[in-house]
Amino acid sequence: MTGKFTSRQDETGDQGRIETTDLTKEYGRITAVDDVSISIGCGEYHCLLGPNGSGKSTLLRLLLELTRPTSGSVSVPPVAIGCGFQQPNFYPGLTVRENIDVFASLVGADDWDWNQTVVDELRLNRALDRKAADLSGGYGRKLDLALALIKEPDFLFLDEPLGAMDDVSKTRFLEFLGEYPGTIVVATHQVTAFAPYLDRVTVMHRGSVVFDDLIEEIDLTGYESLQQYYVDAVLAREGVDPETPPPTEAPAEQRADSK
Amino acid sequence: MSILSLLKKEGHWSKRNVLVLVFLLVALPTFFATTSVMFQEVVPREVPVGVVPADERVSEEDLRIVEGGVAVFSDPQVIDSEEKALEALNRERVYGIVTVPANITESGVDAQFGLTVNGAIVPFQQPSEVIVGLMQFQLDDILAADISAERTVIGQENTLPEYLFPSFLMVVVIFFAFTYVPYNLRREKDVMDRLKVETSLESVVAAKLIFYTAVMVAPIFIFHVTASYYGYRIDSFAPGAVAVLLLTFLLLSVLSMTIMVLMRFSATGQFVNVVLMLGMIALSALTFPVGFFSAIRTTIARSLPTHYSMIMTRSVMLKDLQLTGFTDWLGAFLGLIVLALAVLKLAIIYHRRTV
């Protein structure tokens, strides 16, 4: 992998920033994204971190213009965008190879050396002639990521990209992403694996931004990890003392007695 | 670029769904084409006929008297010239033309009525023979002149299987447009987000319309081969008929896709399309001429585009007529396609704004 890419900042140049201003998205009475203003710099490896239902995926969909904001604005530079979806998006009726072929053709990705690199890095070779509908969750995720990467996007948006992926594939893919020269925005609730590569973290909770800081500015003193830091921050926002141990399940005999 | 890529995808998709496509494009057309022979004995009754003066000596009053006389066994409509009456016959507004001779109210004068029918409209062949006899009997009873009646057939007399042939082909076109096209579009839901990012919904539906309209040539050709096998005397692969069938498919596919987009590619959208298909087949008067039904069904049929495309297809295949005789209908049909495409575009915009 060494030498595949030059530095992220050098490669991307100044292509503008992703900006959201007072961004709000409501679904009926539910506010999925609430007055979010963030800025993602060119070449940045940015993590949108938060528990389930915190609005990360909705924010990504707003950035991709897959849903319209209720209020506020989104600004994404007009550059090549690749996206890996929470629910992998591909043609289940086609094989892996046909999916790659169709989308490569659709986005004008005619660099077949690169496409082969993507297939290799995602360890998809063995599944190329399998029907996508028959793929395991892990392979489905890899195909989705391959389709996101084949056009060598300047901006890469990934929603829970490691879901269902095996540890070997995860490690290789994380290294690959770490060297990827474009801007990367990852939405996840498990930041540990990404932590060594990140430039910035935006923690979300119930649609709002809890904090949005450069990694180097986060003081992890007293915390086991960035994951722990984020969990405590979210719990504190909920008014729960992080020191209080979470309620544990009662022993089986105790449950039986209570009946 | 975008369309070509999506066309390529449709090729892959079709390869993976070849059994479904073979069923819809080959087996079903073959079934309908071969079972058409089972309808040889079916003869409907009651028809609209035009009442037209043989020459300028025929008075308005003569026409009114005859109109009242033939109303006993048909639904007469007075038409002021033979030319207009023939046009009405070609366009199936009437299924026979009663030609009224002069001097029908003068006693002792020989007056020969004519009943002109088109040999291609098989369901009216037997009724028209009966009507000639009834005309002679009924009109001789109420008119002073000595009445006789003669039946004239325009064009070749087809068999009922030949007559039903284009009808079944139209059913296949409607069936495919309202079943497979929505089903295929619904399957795009799996990859819709990626398609919206990488291309547009407009390109996706455009590729499907182009691909499947081209594919519809297959069942038309299957029908043509079957017609040749049975020795049917019809122009089953006439360019005009093929064009009308493909335009009909295009219009209906745009309609079914619009429903799917508005219904967010759901199973409900597919169900609505199936219901629409059944209504379209039942109410367009595809098999029996429109005038054979009740007034309300006739009105409904005449408000459906499939009714007019059926008549145009039948006219080119069976009556040896050219599409140039239907330029007004064809123009309206093309206008309807443009309108339907505009509505589809609006549906896509609505979809985009409400997701």
pLDDT in tens, A112-157: 899 999 999 999 999 999 999 999 999 999 999 999 999 999 999 9
- Do B177 and B65 have their domain in common? no
Q: Would the pLDDT of B148 be above 60?
A: yes
- Classify A34 as helix, strand or coil: strand
Domain check: are B268 and B346 in the same one? yes
Nearest CA in chain B to A67: B355
Do B216 and B96 belong to one domain? Answer: no
Can you read off the two tokens belonging to residue B157? 């007399």
Residues B8 and B124 in one domain: no
Q: Which residue of B has its CA nearest to A86?
A: B193
Give pLDDT, residue A35: 96
Phi, psi for B315 (deg, rounded to 5): -65, -40
Question: Are A93 and B17 inside 8 Å of each other by CB?
Answer: yes
Which residues from chain B sit within 8 angstroms of residue A131, using beta carbons? 16
pLDDT of residue B37: 58
Report yes or no on B43 lying in a domain: no
Query: Do B272 and B334 reside in the same domain of the chain?
Result: yes
Q: What is the mean pLDDT of residues B40-44?
A: 41
Shared-domain flag, residues B32 and B86 = no
**Helices marked H in A22-95 — which ranges?**
56-63
Structure tokens at A101: 């072929």
Query: Are residues B223 and B118 located together in one domain of the fold?
Result: no
pLDDT at B217 over 80: yes
Mean pLDDT of B240-244: 97
Residue B113 pairs in a beta bridge with B149
Domain boundary among B126, B154, B182: B154
Query: In chain B, pLDDT over 90 holds for what percent of residues?
Result: 63
**Structural domain contains residue B348:** yes
Among A9-23, A79-93, A241-255, B80-94, the range scoring the smallest mean pLDDT is A241-255
- Domain extent, residue B348, equals 3-38+160-354
Q: Is the pLDDT of residue B104 over 60?
A: yes
Give me the residue from A68, A92, A107 closest to B198, CB to CB. Answer: A107
For chain B, say whether A62 makes contact (Cβ under 8 Å). Answer: no
What value does the mean pLDDT take over residues A228-253? Answer: 70
Contacts of B194 in chain A (CB under 8 A): 83, 85, 89-90, 103, 147
Supply φ then ψ for residue A217, to 5 degrees.
Answer: -90, -5
Between CA A172 and CA A136 the distance in angstroms is 19
B82 within some domain: yes
Contact B5 A105 (CB under 8 A): yes
B163 pLDDT tier (thresholds 50, 70, 90): very high
Q: Does residue A90 sit at the B interface (CB-CB below 8 Å)?
A: yes
The CATH number assigned to the domain holding B106 equals 3.40.1710.10
DSSP state of B23: I
Q: Is residue B288 part of a domain?
A: yes
CA distance A159 to chain B (A): 13
Whether A102 sits inside 8 A of B12 (CB atoms) is yes
Is residue B167 domain-resident? Answer: yes
pLDDT tens-digit profile of B56-98? 899 999 999 999 888 877 889 999 899 999 999 999 999 999 9
Which pLDDT value is given to residue B344? Answer: 98
Burial annotation B257-270 (CB, 10 A radius, 16+ → b, else e): bbbbbbbebeeebb
Please count the structural domains in chain B: 2
Averaged pLDDT of chain B: 90
- Both B179 and B325 in a single domain? yes
Report chain A residues whose CB lies below 8 A from the CB of B6. Answer: 106
* Torsion angle in degrees (nearest 10) through CA of A28, A33, A36, A38: -140
Note whether B19 and B33 are same-domain residues: yes
CA geometry: angle at A238 spanning A237 and A244, to 5°?
105
Q: How confident is the model at residue A246 (pLDDT cuts 50, 70, 90)?
A: very low
Percentage, residues of chain A above pLDDT 90: 76
ipTM of predicted assembly, 2 dp: 0.85
> Alpha carbon of A82 to those of A155, A156, A158: distances in Å?
6, 5, 8
B123 and B192 part of one domain? no
Q: How confident is the model at residue B45 (pLDDT cuts 50, 70, 90)?
A: low
Structure confidence at residue A6 (pLDDT): 42
